[in-house]
Structure 1
Amino acid sequence: MIEIDNTLSLSRAGIDTYRQPVVFMREDCHVCRAEGFAALTRIEVTLGDRSVIATLNVLTEGDWLPEDTAALSEEAWSVLNPEPGDRASFTHPEPPASVSAIRAKVYGDALEQDQFDAIIRDVLDRRLSDLDLAAFITACAGDRLSIPETIALTRSMQAAGTTLDWGSTAIYDKHCVGGLPGNRTTPIVVSIVAAAGLMIPKTSSRAITSPAGTADTMEVMAPVSLDAATLRRVVEAECGCIAWGGNLALSPADDVLIRIERPLDFDSDGQLVASVLSKKAAVGAKRVLIDVPVGPTAKVRSAETARALEQRLCAVGDAIGLTLSIHQSDGTAPVGRGIGPALEAQDVLAVLRRDEGAPADLRDRALDLAGALLDLAPETREAGGRAAAARLLDSGRAEAKFMAICEAQGGFSEPGEARYHAVVTSRAAGRLAAMDNRRIARTAKLAGAPRQKLAGLRLLARVGDRIDIGRPLFEIHAETLGELEYARSYAEAQCGLCTIEEDRE
């Protein structure tokens, strides 16, 4: 019997493939020829007792990679953690068990609990390619995921990770479904609720399709990459935290799905609900407030859509033991003045510090949400949640609690300012009738947000304002001149970004 040498030396490619394990081989490599590997083939790479399933990229020209060597992306390298001189074996992996379930969903079949369990297991074992994951996400988009399927997916996602146990302590949480630039209420709400003595271990994601997520904004002011032990220490000391969920393995499959959703630039109601509620259950929460902004250019565009989402949220919440309160809010225009991590952090601090020029809309929204959460608690309900929230904010107790949380998470930092600024002015006179949330968000992203923490927009006019020709509408902040010009060109070409109803004689 002839043994085939399917091993290669390993080198570090030094290429970030954003959590996707990738292996690079020459097309004339003996393993490529013997195994019949081609570009985008899924390959199982084994080194001792460690293995990873990676996607193959083939080098057709150039000599940067020796013939007897495979190069690993940063993600694959971190999983295998090879020593100098190590050789790994390369084989075809067993076909993922869940591919048939994904195919069934693509063709419109309803999936059962065991099928979702298999998909989530294969997601975490990296057995599914990005094409498989994109097919699954697309097949579940729109109304293609029923409420029973959403419940099953939520349970699968929670069961695949860690669930925090706080004993008999009542745990509170809140979440916004998103789609409204600048709506950074979470740090304010957590500070108020924690100042009231309620436990609120808030974990948040980074931005998926927006210019900033709560974790992006909070990271400007304090560390957010907490492990479970640090999170517990912070919460037990201060009653609350504002942490990034990616280090905690609370619903780890969701982080993989988010990686695929980001370039696709869409969410589905079923996956949104499964993502949100699996993480709420995993953090140990029992009483949860969900903010649903509704507006023509928000993520949720109509009252009818909001009602359908509320029905799905409540059905899943009941099934997994959560008490939900759904709060519909105005999603017709951006909130506050800043859009982008540092600019939103400045707004948060202005509200907490009770600055005279703090954005009133952000303050009011935060008080509404904090009050609704306090109304869920027997010990604060009778006093009137919103009034209690206002007292905690106006007295400075919320600010003090926020600073204590920051210090417990690793220390507070003041938000900085971007290097380059450019003002976009009005070409018409009249009343500012509307601002397009999606185009405003797009402009901030083109300026570099959230990747560049100091980038984004500062709004200089509000819906309802009287506008003269040449009046500044917003200011673009960027860290490079190229991004500044890119964002400004886009904004100036978008006639619907700010709608001005011109004066009529």
Structure 2
Amino acid sequence: MLKLRRVPVDTRSENVAFVSEACTLTRVEGLRALAKIEVHGGRRRILATVNVVEADGGCALVEPDELGLSIEAFARLGLPEGTDVHIEFAGPPRSLEAVRRKIEGRVLGDDQYRAIIDDIAAHRYSRMELAAFLVAAAGFMTSEEVLGLTRAMVEAGNRLTWPYPIVVDKHCIGGIPGNRTTMITVPIVAAHGLPMPKTSSRAITSPSGTADTMEVLARVDLTLDEMRAVVEAERGCLVWGGHMNLSPADDILISVERPLGIDTQEQMVASILSKKAAAGSTHLLIDIPMGPSAKVRSHEEATRLRKMFEYVGDALGLVIDVMTTDGRAPIGRGIGPVLEARDVMAVLRGDADAPADLRAKALAVAGRVLEFDGGVRGGGGEARARELLESGAALARMEAIMAAQGPAPAAVEPGSLVKEVPAAADGTVAAIDCARINGIARLAGCPFDKGAGLDLFRKPGDAVRKGEPLYRIHACRPADFAFATAAAEEADGYVIA
């Protein structure tokens, strides 16, 4: 029996327990670092990975009679500090045997994926075990395995239902800096009257996700009941899905995919479609940008990915429409949450200097979504989307959605540490390396510092003189600023012809 203590250490999605090396259990039971234990008090219990803390030095995190839990683990257990709790050794999850089979290159069945995902959703896997599963799955998965993984991810959490015959959604597979069309599409579609309850993830490998950018403008961590109220009132929302237990294993996997930079097509399809099915969508538009530095770089890759989305989507009962778009360059000017939010609102307001490419793509995407409505003539969706944007109806609906979701957690301004990156020669911008631009923006602090990012001044086809700025780096912290500027000096991501 140990007394519970909250340890102010953020361990992301992993449950971590801290025990003193002077604890009787450590000495008598042979408790070692990275062992797994079950912590329980009354009917509340969680699994956690142990970290053993030195008892000397005058700054011990926990006393010998205490059990410390990291921030998220403490919240999940849901008991007050000082509560007496029991701990027991916990063996490895049974589903790890299936992970070992996947490491060997075997094909897994639906029951094996269901066991793996159930254990992941219950936080029974350590980050090392999660990484082992992700790397093994990245090596090889059949289409049937992708479907089995997707179904397991849907079943592991909540599943929403809506009182509407059509519930639309869209998703871009990412990789293109500044491609924040969702935040323009949702208010257009909602103003038309189609329900679009948009749940989004935070960035995995990009400088900003839709949830990261929307959080500059409004609150995104809504509960299920709050989300329902917003959708019933406004026909749309832009919220973070991680707060709603929709495909909860996906958020845990993303927390490991992000630092590893893993984003395979198979895992991408399972992640996207599990969230959409769990959110109650019936009709889904998938945007696949294609370009030399995008995630998808050839027609062959795009075709393979489209077929995988269609195969899994059909099996889940989703109506899937896939569009391949131009992914050769960034969209808009701002890269990073606050700068992207600025561009989105400029388009919705109809500002004269709003990014034309962002506006054009958002209208194309919104038009395709609107054509899920049987009352919109084939090919007439984009004209209807333009009408809703130019009339101000989309802006009014966005402002109503923002008000319904509540104010942003904090006011954010672009980072005050700035540097303009100059052109190395006279000429014309022939190409922009999207992956390099994404990397520099992340080094500047995106998405965790919402004011960090890049402000682009030149796009492909623009003439430029040597020494003129190509873009401006914004950072909030000196270390991030130094990393980003050094990376831009090494290779700025622009090809000048």
Question: Which of 25, 33, 51 is equivalent to 1:31?
Answer: 25
- Indicate the residue corresponding to 2:356 in structure 1: 360
- Indicate the residue corresponding to 2:457 in structure 1: 460
Q: Which amino acid aligns with 1:327?
A: M
- Indicate the residue corresponding to 1:276 in structure 2: 272
- Indicate the residue corresponding to 1:15 in structure 2: 9
Give 1:411 deviation, angstroms.
Answer: 4.2
- Indicate the residue corresponding to 1:490 in structure 2: 487
Question: Which of 135, 142, 146 is equivalent to 1:146?
Answer: 142
Partner Cα separation in structure 2 for residue 10 and residue 284 of structure 1: 39
Question: Which of 163, 167, 173 is equivalent to 1:167?
Answer: 163
- Indicate the residue corresponding to 1:111 in structure 2: 108
Question: Which of 34, 44, 48 is equivalent to 2:38?
Answer: 44
Residues 84/418 of structure 1: CA separation in 2 closer, same or farther (3 Å cut): closer
Give 1:128 deviation, angstroms.
Answer: 1.4
Question: Which of 234, 254, 270 is equivalent to 2:230?
Answer: 234
- Indicate the residue corresponding to 2:283 in structure 1: 287
- Indicate the residue corresponding to 1:4 in structure 2: none
Give the secondary structure class of the aligned counterpart of 1:379.
Answer: coil
Q: Which amino acid aligns with 1:445?
A: R
Partner Cα separation in structure 2 for residue 276 and residue 379 of structure 1: 28
Partner Cα separation in structure 1 for residue 277 and residue 473 of structure 2: 39
Contact 2:150 2:273 in 1 (8 A): yes
Partner Cα separation in structure 2 for residue 482 and residue 161 of structure 1: 39
Structure 2 counterparts to residues 74-113 of structure 1, below 5 A: 74-113=71-110
Question: Which of 116, 124, 127 is equivalent to 2:124?
Answer: 127
Give the secondary structure class of the aligned counterpart of 1:43.
Answer: strand
- Indicate the residue corresponding to 1:3 in structure 2: none
Question: Which of 209, 221, 225 is equivalent to 1:225?
Answer: 221
- Indicate the residue corresponding to 2:197 in structure 1: 201
Residues 375/83 of structure 1: CA separation in 2 closer, same or farther (3 Å cut): closer
Q: Which amino acid aligns with 1:74?
A: I
Partner Cα separation in structure 2 for residue 46 and residue 455 of structure 1: 42
Partner Cα separation in structure 2 for residue 469 and residue 319 of structure 1: 55
- Indicate the residue corresponding to 2:134 in structure 1: 137
Question: Which of 211, 220, 232 is equivalent to 2:207?
Answer: 211
Contact 1:22 1:57 in 2 (8 A): yes
Q: Does structure 1 residue 62 correspond to structure 2 residue 57? A: yes
Contact 1:374 1:381 in 2 (8 A): no
- Indicate the residue corresponding to 2:260 in structure 1: 264
- Identical residues among aligned pairs (%): 48
Partner Cα separation in structure 2 for residue 472 and residue 247 of structure 1: 41
> Deviations along 1:195-234, whole A, 9 cap, x unmatched?
1111111110011111100001001001111111111111
Partner Cα separation in structure 2 for residue 80 and residue 304 of structure 1: 48
Partner Cα separation in structure 1 for residue 412 and residue 192 of structure 2: 26
Partner Cα separation in structure 1 for residue 110 and residue 57 of structure 2: 49
Contact 2:277 2:316 in 1 (8 A): yes
TM-score (norm 2): 0.96
Question: Which of 292, 301, 305 is equivalent to 2:301?
Answer: 305
Contact 1:224 1:242 in 2 (8 A): yes
Residues 347/494 of structure 1: CA separation in 2 closer, same or farther (3 Å cut): same
Partner Cα separation in structure 2 for residue 391 and residue 168 of structure 1: 24
Contact 2:429 2:462 in 1 (8 A): yes
Contact 1:461 1:474 in 2 (8 A): yes
Tell me how many residue pairs correspond in the alignment: 493
Question: Which of 441, 445, 451 is equivalent to 1:444?
Answer: 441
Residues 51/62 of structure 1: CA separation in 2 closer, same or farther (3 Å cut): farther
Contact 2:36 2:92 in 1 (8 A): no
Residues 232/84 of structure 1: CA separation in 2 closer, same or farther (3 Å cut): closer
TM-score (norm 1): 0.94
> Deviations along 1:107-158, whole A, 9 cap, x unmatched?
111111111111111011111111111111111115x111111111111111
Residues 168/85 of structure 1: CA separation in 2 closer, same or farther (3 Å cut): closer
Q: Tell me which moved more, 478-487 or 178-187.
A: 478-487
Q: Tell me which moved more, 249-258 or 50-59.
A: 50-59
Partner Cα separation in structure 2 for residue 270 and residue 84 of structure 1: 42
Partner Cα separation in structure 1 for residue 195 and residue 53 of structure 2: 54
Give 1:428 deviation, angstroms.
Answer: 1.7
Contact 2:6 2:81 in 1 (8 A): no
Contact 1:140 1:268 in 2 (8 A): no
Residues 284/394 of structure 1: CA separation in 2 closer, same or farther (3 Å cut): same
Calculate the aligned-residue CA RMSD, in Å. Answer: 1.6
Contact 1:31 1:90 in 2 (8 A): no
Contact 2:329 2:434 in 1 (8 A): yes
Give the secondary structure class of the aligned counterpart of 2:187.
Answer: helix
Q: Which amino acid aligns with 2:173?
A: V
Give the secondary structure class of the aligned counterpart of 1:220.
Answer: coil
Q: Does structure 1 residue 374 correspond to structure 2 residue 339? A: no
Contact 2:36 2:91 in 1 (8 A): no
> Deviations along 1:19-51, whole A, 9 cap, x unmatched?
211112233422112222212111212222211
Contact 1:346 1:415 in 2 (8 A): no
Give 1:383 deviation, angstroms.
Answer: 7.0
Give 1:84 deviation, angstroms.
Answer: 4.2
> Deviations along 1:425-444, whole A, 9 cap, x unmatched?
11222221111111111111
Contact 2:412 2:450 in 1 (8 A): no
Give 1:85 deviation, angstroms.
Answer: 3.1
Structure 2 counterparts to residues 463-482 of structure 1, below 5 A: 463-482=460-479
Partner Cα separation in structure 1 for residue 420 and residue 158 of structure 2: 47
Contact 2:3 2:81 in 1 (8 A): no
Partner Cα separation in structure 2 for residue 109 and residue 308 of structure 1: 22
Partner Cα separation in structure 1 for residue 44 and residue 280 of structure 2: 32
Residues 159/338 of structure 1: CA separation in 2 closer, same or farther (3 Å cut): same
Q: Does structure 1 residue 423 correspond to structure 2 residue 417? A: no
Residues 275/353 of structure 1: CA separation in 2 closer, same or farther (3 Å cut): same
Residues 374/85 of structure 1: CA separation in 2 closer, same or farther (3 Å cut): closer
Partner Cα separation in structure 1 for residue 91 and residue 50 of structure 2: 16
Q: Tell me which moved more, 379-388 or 13-22.
A: 379-388
Give the secondary structure class of the aligned counterpart of 1:300.
Answer: coil
